[in-house]
Each structure stands twice: as structure tokens, then as C-alpha cells.
Structure 1
Amino acid sequence: MPHPNFILLYVDNPQQSAKFYAPLLDKQPMESSPGFVMFALDSGMMLGLWSKHTVEPAAPKIPLGGSGELAFAVADAAAVKALYAEWQQRGLQILQQPVSMDFGFTFTAVDPDGHRLRVFAPYDPAL
């Protein structure tokens, strides 16, 4: 059975989105064309930024940000706080300040196309 290995986000301008994601991911794209940019993530997952104007078949009209989010798991609450400060310095729009939730300590930001970016430190279920 095949397993998912790509995340594709439909964006207004893949080149502009790549300029946003490259420093956030601390990676340069492995592939880049006017309508598509791809990053290879350390996990083995690929992140594709595809122009919403050229994707085939055409993407449905979705409200800004769609209905999902990219999640970044980190080691602990200190790492959440450090990324929160860094992303604020970079000028990312923050939707949710650092907060404890039932799954862990988290905050949420958005990319230029409105896709949610969640950073979280999961709680240890053994505690």
C-alpha cells in the first residue's frame, strides 16, 4: 500500500511563497518553475507549492487558508516559545498566541496565502 509522501499547497505565486518558506524551513527548493516549487523536508516528506491558477484539474474555490494546516512538532515548550519569538521577528501573522491545549503547548501562524502553520510540543501521555 502506498503512503502519502507529498504535501501540496495551492498558492497565488509559488516563487513568492518559496521566498517565505525557504528561511522558515532553512532549506532551498529542490525544484522551481514559475508554476511550482518543491522542498525536500528532513522527514522525507516533500512540500510542493503549486500555483492555484494553473493546477490541473482546477482547484475548487476555497476560502483563504483552506481547511488544514502544516504542523511542526518540536521538543518542548521552550522550543515553541523560541519559534514564536523568531516567527514574530520575521513578521509572520500570528493567529493564536502560545497556549496549552489538550494535545500540547502550541501557537498558530499563517503563510502569505492564509495556510495555517502550527508549532506544538506534544504532551507526554505517560505523565
Structure 2
Amino acid sequence: MKHYIDGFVLPIPRIYLDEYKEVAKKVAEIWKEYGALAYFEFIGDDMTLEGTRSFIEAVVAREDEEIIFGWVVFPSKEVRDLANKKVPTDPRMTELVGPLTNPEKLIFDASRMVYGGFKPLVQLNE
């Protein structure tokens, strides 16, 4: 098990979900150019389990928001670290993410995102 992943959870206003999805597709391609093996984003569906804290609570989601859960797979932590330095400075990222972070139409609020890097513990493939 040599892969390394970055995982994230964030709320997106439901009315902007299509706009966010289009940007996320392009962002995924940029991550892959910088070494990611795979990029995934899923939308919340069954978000509660009795006795546990939900993602909804973790990101303080509002009624009009959807929860996005995503992860990026890298061949190693070293490749991930390099990508995490280069991707944010790629001019395409500024162009893509800028409209999502406009305070007048805030679609993506990084202060409400939960994020972390993860090394392997258990992996069972088919």
C-alpha cells in the first residue's frame, strides 16, 4: 500500500451545484496533470447515523446546501506534497476558483471545508 490521499468535505449551495460541478471537473484534470492518479467527488445522500456526528454538523451546513465528499489519490506523499505546492499557483486555478469564492456570490467557502492527508492503514480491493 503506497498510495496517499487527500480527503475533503465541504458544503455547496444547492442552487450553484451545477456551476460547482463544472469547475470541479476542470480542477480534477489539473490535479491529474500534477501527479494525482484519481480524483473523486460525491454528493451527500444518507447523511446521518444515530450516535455519530454527521458531515452536516462538521461543516455547519445549511438547509439549502449539499455536502460534497471528495478525495484525491496520489502515488506517494511526496507527489502529493509537490502537487499541493504547484496546483494552487497554476493560473488556471485562479481563473476557475475565483468566481466560486466571490463574496457577493459565495459558492465555495474554504473556512467551512474539512480537509486532511491520509496514509494507508487497510486496503482491500475486490
Q: Normalized against structure 2, the TM-score is what?
A: 0.36
- Would you tell me which structure has more strand in proportion to its own residues? 1
Structure in which a larger fraction of residues adopt helix: 2
